[in-house]
Structure 1
Amino acid sequence: MEKNLTSLIEKHGLAHVQDDIIASVYKCITVTPKRSASLPPGISKFGGAPDLPEEMEYPVYKNIPLNFIGQVNLTELAALAFEENQLPKEGMLYFFYYDNWEEDDDVVYGEPDQKDGWRVLHWDGDVTMLRPVERAKASYPPCKMNFSIVEKLPYIFLETEEDEEKFEELHDEWHSPGSPEHQIFGLPISIQGEVFDEVCDYVEAEEDEMILLLQVDSDEENLDVMWGDCGMIYYCISRRDLAEKRFDRSWFSFQCH
């Protein structure tokens, strides 16, 4: 990374802020979806129906079943040996959301009075015992999740407008914009306010104590979903709550342009 990024920094005339740019790079896990009409139970996936244990109640909001966003097989994730992975190494993590913004004024953005409008559930049993459960009023096309560790460069503040423009060109060249930014860990790609700053007070934590459990981008090609105006949804948790496996205290944010 550093050699390639250094060459881009020189190319775009930003050698005088090279240290700041390189220091801002972070590692994360990107999630690449691949549509599949048939996926075995217990696999990491977006959409379709969740593979739930019999004893787990399907989550609802105002008596309406939540939409199933996706599930992460934690053994698959652990196999990446990502050094910042503090999640349990076995079981399944499920993500749900009240996706009703096109039909209802009651859009769940992540406010405290909407706490039941999203859910992160953890199950630590044998994933081979799981079976699909159809409950949501709508679903997204089933897509296998493919994981990879990558390095990303966030937008950073530079002192002059000229440097800002050069950095934006560098950023776009390095990232090849256009692909959906589905992501686990690392820094959320905020569209409005900084996501961690927005949610940390709700869970009584500092901004640097927050962890990104899952970021789901607008993705019409794979997931047939558009979050508002090209937005994203985010699931976050504090390090303290993660250590205690308090996934019920995870927080959610919806941002769009």
Structure 2
Amino acid sequence: MSAPPRTTPPRTTVPPGVPGHVAIIMDGNGRWATRRGHPRWMGHVRGAHTVREVVAHCARLGVRDLTLYAFSSDNWKRPREEVGFLFDLFASHIERQLASLVANGIRFTVIGRRDRLPPTLVDAIAMAEARTAAGTQLHVRVAIDYSSRAAIARAFTEGGDGTETALLPAVDLLVRTGGERRLSDFLLWECAYAELAFLDVHFPDLATTDLDGVFSDFARRERRYGGVPAVTETTSA
């Protein structure tokens, strides 16, 4: 039996200097394993443990929204065995973490196409979304079979008005691990004014101290949204 959800009030604001919406491109699982002489699937397993730590740390810091890029629509180009393993891993990880999500008031949803996913994974997603719907402390979204360009097209063609509210909340901070410096079709609309952080560490090795460093840098940045820097006027006697 899972623990009852916490009764703390919903989080509508975030602490000063903390990004409200954090998006992470979880890159480098396969390379992490290959460089250690392991099969690629071991990197994905290790990455799943890192996901758990990242979610818990963001919840502690007061982040409101966390969106994780797990499987892009282009990842279907990977070997069939690896794709199948990933989907099995997603389903089992969701089921194992469900009680913890509910107990800690964390809402879980998945963005992306579901019509191409295995029924077992679709069922696990639906169950987790229903069980965690009342969570108010952190909203974790996982992008599976996701394409930002496709999401934008749907927003226009299926009744959306093309604004940010038709998609997801605006991203404040986007983090990509693995040493690459690109967005790879992830939250293109939502990242219009996002601060960007590219880390050379592979995702399985991402530590909470790495996140703390990125968040500290975010807190020092001046976000002007097209305006001019704040100026303190002084007058001489």
TM-score, length-scaled by structure 2 = 0.27
The structure showing larger relative contact order (alpha-carbon pairs under 8 Å, at least 6 residues apart) is 2
Which structure dedicates a bigger proportion of its chain to helix? 2
Which structure dedicates a bigger proportion of its chain to strand? 1
